[in-house]
Amino acid sequence: MWYWLFKYVLLGPILNLAGRPRVEGVENLPENGPAILASNHLAVVDSFYLPMASPRRIYFLAKSEYFTGTGLKGRFQRWFFTAVGQIPIDRSGADAAENALISARRKLEAGELMGMYPEGTRSPDGRLFKGKTGLARIAMETGVPVIPVAMINTDKLNPPGTTFPRPTRITVRIGKPLDFSRYEGMNGNRFIERAVTDEIMYELMRLSGQKYVDLYAASLKKAAEGTAEPVVEPGSPRAEPAA
């Protein structure tokens, strides 16, 4: 109930006014059955504008920090993200994140739409960063299609560190479903999982027009904080980054 109330009554009208969203490719969303919506991630509001673009409910994996706050603000935040269907994910390591990935699989097995951000975190500078392979692993295990989605200009409406939106026309561009059934039976092969992930990132690069960086966004953020050095790893999408 709260999901639809927020979408159509409490938040939807405000977001429509601030972002005047234009949706392209909505016909690529399945009317029923499971699918993973793989989106680039520019701003917090991505998780609000993508559900507004879909006639069906979308569940998301959300960082666990949204569910662990204290005091009145923490309790409200935990209630809000739970009410709108967010699933907490611990990003401290692969083992810690496994329970959230299990929850994502269950939603897909129940025929739901699952929204996921293969970059794992918001882009710190508007570029498209290297994707993590968790999404590919789930897609290969469940056999569901992956639908690439490009969020455009959400970082201008909701720049990092800001609370109130800056009215900007945004676009939600939904690509054609990607079928990875050709990799059936290859679960657990890290080279195949990387190939699937890179194919998804290539489509996101093409749809969004973002410049691709062969580096994890989280690594860049840690380097900026002085806690780690960014390391560029080999392997990238199949084309040069868009200008």
- Please provide the average confidence, as pLDDT, over all residues in the chain: 83
Residue 229 within a domain:
no
Residue 35 within a domain:
yes
Report which listed range, 11-20, 42-51, 75-84, 95-104, is most confident: 42-51
Q: What percent of the chain stands above pLDDT 70?
A: 81
Q: Check whether 161 has a pLDDT greater than 50.
A: yes
Spatial separation of the C-alpha atoms in residues 187 and 25, rounded to whole Å: 30
Please give the residue range of the domain that contains residue 207. Answer: 31-224
Report which listed range, 98-102, 118-122, 236-240, is most confident: 118-122
CATH number at residue 147: 3.40.1130.10
Return the pLDDT at 78. 75
Weakest mean pLDDT among 3-17, 50-64, 108-122, 218-232: 218-232
Contact between 117 and 177 (Cβ < 8 Å): no
Long-range pairs for 100-105: beta carbons < 8 A, 24 or more residues apart: 100/61, 101/134, 101/137, 101/138, 104/59, 104/61, 104/138, 105/138, 105/141, 105/142
Residue 240 within a domain:
no
Domain count across the chain: 1
Q: Check whether 242 has a pLDDT greater than 60.
A: no
Tell me the per-residue pLDDT of 185-221, one tens digit each, with 9 for 90 and over: 888 899 999 999 999 999 999 999 999 999 998 888 7
Residue where the block lists tokens 């960063």: 129
Q: Check whether 98 has a pLDDT greater than 90.
A: no
Residue 231 within a domain:
no
Weakest mean pLDDT among 34-43, 156-165, 193-202, 233-242: 233-242
Residue where the block lists tokens 């990387």: 194
Q: Check whether 139 has a pLDDT greater than 80.
A: yes
Return the pLDDT at 211. 96
Q: What percent of the chain stands above pLDDT 90?
A: 49
The sign one gets for the Cα dihedral 158, 4, 207, 41 is: positive
Q: Check whether 102 has a pLDDT greater than 60.
A: yes
The pTM of this model reads 0.81
Residue 25 within a domain:
no
Return the pLDDT at 236. 46
Residue 204 within a domain:
yes
Residue 110 within a domain:
yes
Residue 82 within a domain:
yes
Residue where the block lists tokens 């199949």: 238
